[in-house]
A and B are shown apart, each in its own frame.
Chain A
Amino acid sequence: MLEQILALLPQVIFDGFILGFVYAMVALGYTMVYGVLELINFAHSEIFMIGAVVGVEVFRYLAPQVESGFLLLLLALILGGVVAGITAILVERFAYRPLRARGTTNRLVPLITAIGVSFILQDLVRLIEGLWHNEFFLRMRTVEDLEGSVSLFGGAIFAQTKSFILMGVSILMLVGLTYLVNRTKLGVAIRAVAQDLHTASLMGIDPDRIISRTFLIGGSLGGVAGVLFALQYTTITPYVGFLPGIKAFTAAVLGGIGNIPGAMLGGLVLGQLENFFGTYLPILTNGNFGTEYKDVVAFLILIFILLVRPQGLLGQVVKEKV
């Protein structure tokens, strides 16, 4: 049995990274918004879904025109990121900001609003796709350039071109975001607002503006992740955001909600756990527990980690302000 496990291990880790990077990118949207607003923006799952749908549509309509699959993907990533980012800004502007302006102090109110926005976006996409194509069950068109595959390490890893692209793009986005947050004026302002919104505003920082930018950045990352997800897993519906979204949220909590490197780490850890048990559960239990139990085991481990470290892997214990 050990031999069997070891033989599969490189592939399992590789696939775990694919899933993990998607979770990491989506988790960033949750964690950044939580950082500035202390709001769990459940509508972020739908921002991710919108990115995926835009990806499918770009492939559907532009694949015949654009010869290079790489160029096509680039267009899809840009458009998916932009549409998702703008949607996120609009959600903030019309759903959350009015609540802030009224000085709503009950945290449950924006949370319920987020859930409501989530449903609205799902059904809006269903409506649009329904009117447009008479169906909302979408399939990502496959493009030859991106489907090519190679064997690495003497067949230990079987990998497709698109998987490498997914990881490459994710790493670029994560590095870019880290740079933005740590080294630029906007990044410094976002961190300042996240730490102390009132004091930041006394420094001449307009909190609404920074919050809006945060939604833009988180939304774009989610949208790009959605396009990559569609490319990798190909079947997309208006409800496809729910599971990856809830897992990405879990990843953000696992890493320490509000903590940006934590969200990346949390995403990767969760991706690895899920994929690990997806592959090995049947082997380890002699087939008594199938792959479908992977989430159960992965989440049991998460519960255990959070029992030991409630603040998350990289989170800090927050002292209550007096």
Chain B
Amino acid sequence: MKALEVTQATKRFGGLVAVNDVSLSVNQGEIFSVIGPNGAGKTTFFNLLTGIYPPDEGRILLFGKDVTGLPPDRIAKEGVGRTFQNIRLFGAMTVLENLLVGMHIHIHVPYFHAVFRTPLARREEKRAEEEAKRLLEYVSLLHRKDELAKNLPYGEQRKLEIARALALKPRLLLLDEPAAGMNPKETEELQAFIQKLRDELGITIVLIEHDMRLVMRISDRIAVLEYGSKIAEGSPEEVRTNPRVIEAYLGKGAAGGAA
């Protein structure tokens, strides 16, 4: 069973075909990158996967289950976590509360208990809080737990966004340009962190990324989009040497540097 299987997905906005007949599949436990020039439809592709909009054509299977056309909250419940190119934290909430939002589907308080604030309800919410704190420790943000998310420095906001996605206990994690704005050292830490997520937690990871060094080092396989269409797919080596990719995306200088 594949973690993700997309068959001939198409999404149009008026006359623009943002995603054009894209098919690809991601194996469980894989780190898979989606690359392509700006405007190639990468984020739109993520939006299709997470149900922000339904595809006009095509099917999307998550762990063998057809989720085509389901709303975002239902897809999230299937175990899909995601981060955003432009960080989208709940800025007016604390770091801890951001994680509690992420844990929403894993906090179970039956109606009766919720209304009458029974010990069970309190225990359950306490348990969630403890779990959120453990997760914050995992990403070394525990000391920030009571600060408003918007007051965190950029790098920590990125981390918090990943932690929030992890709070969902995803089977599939979609990272939209996680290394954006990071220096080489931070990028290296990020790479180790992503690999740790895969190795320790067994999470399948799909990322959109512009940092080619990171992409080449971390990916098991790569798909390349251009003008909404998939123009190549394969191992980093295959993609790096694919003439169409070099022409469309890497350009002469970058191709020389990568060789």
Question: Is the Cβ of A185 less than 8 Å from the Cβ of B90?
Answer: no
Q: Which of B72, B91, B105 has the most CB atoms of chain A within a 10 A radius of its CB?
A: B72
The answer to whether A201 has its CB under 8 Å from any CB of chain B is yes
Within residues 38 to 74 of chain B, which ones have a CB less than 8 A from any CB in chain A? Answer: 50, 52, 71-73
List A residues 154-207 near B (Cβ within 8 Å).
Answer: 183-186, 188-189, 191-192, 195-196, 198-207
**What bracket does the count of chain A residues touching chain B fall in?**
20 to 34
Verify B107–A185 contact, CB threshold 8 A.
Answer: yes
Among B17-25, B93-101, B203-211, the stretch in contact with A = B93-101
Chain A interface secondary structure, helix, strand, loop or mixed?
Answer: helix
Which residues of the partner chain B approach A186 to less than 8 Å between Cβ atoms? 114
CB-based contact A185/B109 at 8 Å: yes
- Kindly list chain A residues whose C-beta atoms are within 8 Å of the C-beta of B52: 198, 202
Pair B72/A184 contact, Cβ less than 8 Å? no
Provide the residues of chain B in CB contact with A183, threshold 8 Å. Answer: 125
Sample 20 A-B pairs with CB under 8 A, ordered by A number.
A184-B121, A184-B125, A185-B104, A185-B107, A185-B109, A185-B114, A186-B114, A191-B92, A191-B97, A192-B93, A195-B90, A195-B92, A196-B90, A199-B90, A201-B76, A202-B82, A203-B73, A203-B101, A204-B76, A206-B71
Known: A192-B93, A198-B72. Contact between A203 and B104, CB under 8 A?
A: yes
- Asked if B178 CB lies within 8 Å of chain A CBs, one says no
Asked if A189 and B73 make an inter-chain contact with CB atoms under 8 angstroms apart, the answer reads no
Q: Looking at the assembled complex, report how far the CB atom of B107 sits from the nearest CB atom of chain A, in whole angstroms.
A: 5
Enumerate chain B residues within 8 angstroms of A201, measured Cβ to Cβ. 71-73, 76
Known A184-B125, A201-B71, A203-B164; contact A189-B82, beta-carbon cutoff 8 A? no
- Chain B residues, CB < 8 A from A184: 109, 114, 121, 125
Is A204's CB under 8 angstroms from B97's CB?
A: no
Interface residues of B in 101-133 (CB under 8 A from A): 101-102, 104-105, 107, 109, 114, 121, 125, 128
- From A198, A205, A206, give the contact of B101 (CB < 8 A): A205
Evaluate contact between A204 and B104: CB separation under 8 angstroms.
Answer: yes
Among A183, A185, A189, A199, residue most surrounded by chain B Cβ atoms (within 10 Å): A185
With A185-B114, A204-B105: A195-B93 Cβ-Cβ less than 8 Å:
yes
Contact at A196–B88, with CB atoms within 8 Å? yes
Q: Residues of A contacting B168 with CB < 8 Å?
A: 203-204
Expressed in whole angstroms, the Cα–Cα distance for A13 and B122 within the complex equals 38
Please, how many angstroms separate the alpha-carbon atoms of A183 and B77 in the complex?
23
Q: Which residue of A lies closest to B109 (CB)?
A: A185
B73 touches A205 (CB 8 A): yes
Contact B97–A188 (Cβ < 8 Å):
yes
Contacts of B109 in A (CB 8 A): 184-185
Complex CA–CA separation, A198 to B90 (angstroms): 11
User: Which A positions have Cβ atoms within 8 angstroms of B?
Assistant: 183-186, 188-189, 191-192, 195-196, 198-207, 316
A207 and B51 CA atoms in complex are apart in Å by 14
Q: Which residues of B contact A192 (CB under 8 A)?
A: 90, 93, 101, 104
CB atoms of B101 and A188 under 8 A apart: yes
Contact partner of B73 (CB less than 8 A), chosen from A188, A191, A204, is A204
Tell whether, in the assembled complex, residue B91 and residue A203 are in contact, meaning their CB atoms are under 8 Å apart.
no
Contacts of B164 in A (CB 8 A): 203
A185 near B125: Cβ-Cβ < 8 Å: yes
Q: Provide the residues of chain A in CB contact with B93, threshold 8 Å.
A: 188, 191-192, 195
A31 to chain B: closest CB distance in Å? Answer: 15
User: In the complex, A184→B121 CA distance in Å?
Assistant: 9
Interface contact B104-A205, CB-CB below 8 Å: yes
Q: Given A195-B92, A196-B90, A203-B164, A189–B72 Cβ distance below 8 Å? A: no
User: What residues of chain A lie closer than 8 Å to B76, measured between beta carbons?
Assistant: 201-204
Chain B contacts for A191, CB-based, 8 A: 90, 92-93, 97
Complex alpha-carbon distance, A205 and B105, angstroms:
7
Q: Which 7 A-B pairs have the closest CB atoms?
A: A204-B76, A204-B105, A201-B72, A192-B101, A206-B73, A201-B73, A199-B88
Residues of A within 8 Å of B128, CB to CB, are 185
* Closest chain B CB from A180 CB (angstroms): 9
**Chain A residues, Cβ within 8 Å of B101:** 188-189, 192, 200, 203, 205
CB distance from A286 to the nearest CB of B (A): 49
Residues of chain B contacted by A316 (CB below 8 angstroms) = 92
Least distance between A182 CB and chain B CB atoms (Å): 9
Q: Assuming A188-B104, A206-B73, what are 18 further A-B pairs, CB within 8 angstroms?
A: A185-B128, A188-B100, A191-B92, A192-B90, A192-B93, A200-B90, A202-B52, A202-B72, A202-B76, A203-B76, A203-B102, A203-B105, A204-B76, A204-B104, A204-B105, A205-B101, A205-B104, A205-B105
